[in-house]
Chain A
Amino acid sequence: MNSQTQAPRPGRVQLILSAKSSGPSEAAIKLASLPRDETQQRFTLALDSAVTEVFEMMVGISLGSCGQVTLPRVADYTAMIGLAGELCGVLSFRCSLETAAGITAKMLETIERPSQETIRDALGEICNMVAGSFKVRVSDLAAQCWLSVPTVVSGSDYQLYPLTDGMRMQVSRTFGGTLLWLTLDLHGN
């Protein structure tokens, strides 16, 4: 997170990711009663299993492990999806242009380089499916949770500022030797 708290460069686009809770729900009360480390570990495992499942089933590839790798200040592509309801926050998926093109080509089973529009479409769907799969894995804690429409940002001159004040889960994996990152920022209520 340290890289995300630096003062923005003039002219740089800042993306403020806001996630507001509608107030303490049964799930929030249940979550609050669990040890924070345990919850964070469980959510991280759920996120890791979700991204593994999505890549195996929809991209046709097993992601490599790489331990915890520092989140890049800016990735070429960032796909985001909001969670609302009993779990409230933002899930984001980041990778380089080459990785994004590789993932899209594998999804479409093509050797041709996909267009920017197709890459954005594919990354949005990946993010959407990871969020859906994550939701299923924690449904005993948060049965009522809705997903927003995914948003994909591309370029190299932007910074992300998630306005959540709760937990951050981060998963880093490799795709064909290149890194990709998933973060889930949950609201504190």
Chain B
Amino acid sequence: MPELNVLIVDDSSVMRKIVDRSLRQAGLKLKEVFEASNGMEALARLQQTRVDLILSDINMPAMDGLELVRQIQGVDNAKGVPIVMITTDAGEARVIQAITNGAKGYIRKPFTPDQIKERVIPLLQV
């Protein structure tokens, strides 16, 4: 698998670091990891940078993960990039909304590197 550029979106800097570490522990080779603390920052980053994978929290200030996923569909630079939601709020309605908006999967917090591997790697091989 080639080295990946990844965007991690979460309002918690601790959680962004844990997601970064878990991706590496899951065996993914990361070229560059970009971070954003909300949907607005993530959109601004995606206008400038092409990434291979986006992992996003749902509950965030300024712009939440569900709105981010919806708006990403209109960003040329992000067309076809798999988006995985990582959230404590994995209720059925929110998961359905995330998938409807364009997310390819979700991971419930707390998670293990194995769960990341299980959910993320198949999306990168499509």
Contact = CB atoms under 8 A, between A and B. Distances in A.
A81 to B, nearest CB: 9
Contact of A125 (B14, B93, B111): B14
Interface stretch (A1-9, A10-18, A144-152, A165-173): A144-152
B13 A133 contact: no
Interface residues of B, number: 21
Interface string B61-91: 1000000000000000000000000011111
B119 interface: no
B5 interface: no
A149 B87 CA distance: 13
Contacts, number: 57
A57 B110 contact: yes
B13 A58 contact: no
Contacts of A118: 13-14
A107 B93 CA distance: 30
Contact of B14 (A121, A132, A135): A121
A132 B111 CA distance: 12
A189 to B, nearest CB: 21
Contacts of A132: 87-90, 108-109
A121 B12 contact: yes
A163 interface: no
A128 interface: yes
B15 A125 contact: yes
Interface string A41-67: 000000000000110011000000000
Interface of B: 12-15, 17-18, 21, 59, 61, 87-93, 108-112
